[in-house]
Amino acid sequence: MAAGVQQEDVNGAAEELLQAGDRPTVEKIRQRLGRGSPNTVAPLLNKWFETLHRRLNGGVADERAEVPLPLAKALLAVIKAAQRTEAEKLEPERRRLAEAERVALVRKVELETAKTALAPQLEQLRAELEGVRQERDALRTALEAKNRELVTSRSSLEAEVERAQHLNAQLERANQAAVDERRRLQEQHAATERRLLLQVEEARTEAKALSVRLDGAAQETQRAVEAQTEVLARLTQDLLAAEARNQEGMVQARERELRLQELQRTNEGATKRMQEQAAVVADLLAQLKAKDQTLRWMLTRTQPAKVRKTRNIRASAVR
């Protein structure tokens, strides 16, 4: 129903049509007003016809109703014919509305009957829904507990990772120190060996020179030889002492290598513990994912079942 259409609007439009020599009808009134539904305009137009009938028969006076008697009778005949025509046009609509009301009443009765018949099923569905909700709450509680365990495991894992990183840093520093120490000992050993070889070579050269001068100065040569022998013995002792120091350095390097191997074994143990904890965390995540999927599947299974049952109820009610 269109809002705003009043009796005065319909009366004015009908008077204008009548003065223009046109028969007022529901459609023409609606076209002239530009609004209003047939159900709204029809009773208002009928009231206007009744008023016009009374005016033509000497009823309520109106300046616009002052017309000659023959013309008034002709207009009255036209109006009665128009009323019959409008009544005939509206009769199918009235029958359709009456049939629609009857069908609506029948459907309402059927729906009430179906609602009464389906009440136990609805109660069962509510009980099942409550069970699903309780199970969901239990799963949610378990999930929260697993989450807390996961947080604790993650914290432990992070601590192990930090410790392993610290051990790796120590291992790298120890490796670098061992490499530097080995390089230093190798360089020191090579320098000592070159120096001693040079001294031996110089002693041999001097010994050869003294040997050439033996023919001219035996005693001097003998003393020189003895002196050179002492020098050679001292150099030999120095060489032995240097080798001993080099051997001691090699022992220190070996001890550092042993400490390095110990750090490596410690690092391997930490890495193994990290891998075991990572496996535990992965297993917890898999369990959480499986439970979450189970919960989603149960909720999805429950909701479509209710939708299908509701649709079946509605289809049965329509049939």
- Indicate the pTM of the whole model: 0.24
128 Cβ contact list (under 8 Å, min separation 6):
302
Amino acid (1-letter code) at residue 43: P
Report whether 169 contacts 262 (CB < 8 A).
no
Nearest to 56 by CA among 48, 26, 20: 48
Report whether 83 contacts 26 (CB < 8 A).
no
Other C-beta atoms lying within 10 Å of the C-beta of residue 41:
24
Burial 257-274 (b: 16+ CB within 10 A, else e): eeebeebeeebeebeeeb
pLDDT-based confidence at 308, cuts 50/70/90?
A: low
Where residue 291 falls (left for φ over 0; alpha for ψ -120 to 50; beta otherwise) is: alpha
Weakest-pLDDT range from 120-124, 165-169, 221-225, 269-273: 221-225
Is pLDDT above 50 for 95?
yes
pLDDT-based confidence at 29, cuts 50/70/90?
A: very high
pLDDT-based confidence at 19, cuts 50/70/90?
A: confident
Mean pLDDT of 220-231: 74
Domain boundaries in the chain? Answer: 7-121, 137-278
